[in-house]
Amino acid sequence: MIRPWTRFYPEQTSRDLPPIRWPHLPAFVREASATYRDHRAFTMALPNGTDGSITYEEVDRLSDALAVYLREVAGFAVGDRIAIQMPNCLAYPVAVFA
């Protein structure tokens, strides 16, 4: 495969990406949650001085709860598509990972 853009890479930069070690996004979120459990994952700060944060463990727990709701209560099935239309807020990563 010809990749002419690699000529601009610094000498120490690999030309190929290593294989991804997670089979899917939930596995990545689970590992991050286990590794960084009490660390802040997302922080939101508003111009009026209001701010808030959510930890990796909270993202994992809340996204699991939302996923269960979408499947068990709302009736979504594997393969269904859901559009997320919301402002940048702490609920956004929870919805995306659900």
Average pLDDT, the chain: 91
SS3 helix, strand, coil % of the chain, rounded to 5? 45, 10, 45
29: alpha, beta or left, given left = phi > 0 and alpha = psi -120 to 50? Answer: alpha
Q: Where residue 22 falls among pLDDT bands split at 50, 70, 90?
A: very high
Q: How far apart are CA 56 and CA 3, in angstroms?
A: 37
pTM: 0.74
Is residue 11 a contact partner of residue 19, using CB atoms and an 8 Å limit?
Answer: no
Output the furthest CA–CA distance in the chain (Å, rounded): 54
What number is the average pLDDT over the span 9-20? 90
Plot region of 83 (φ>0 → left; ψ -120 to 50 → alpha; else → beta): beta
Above 90 in pLDDT, residue 4?
yes
- Checking if the pLDDT of 26 tops 90, the result is no
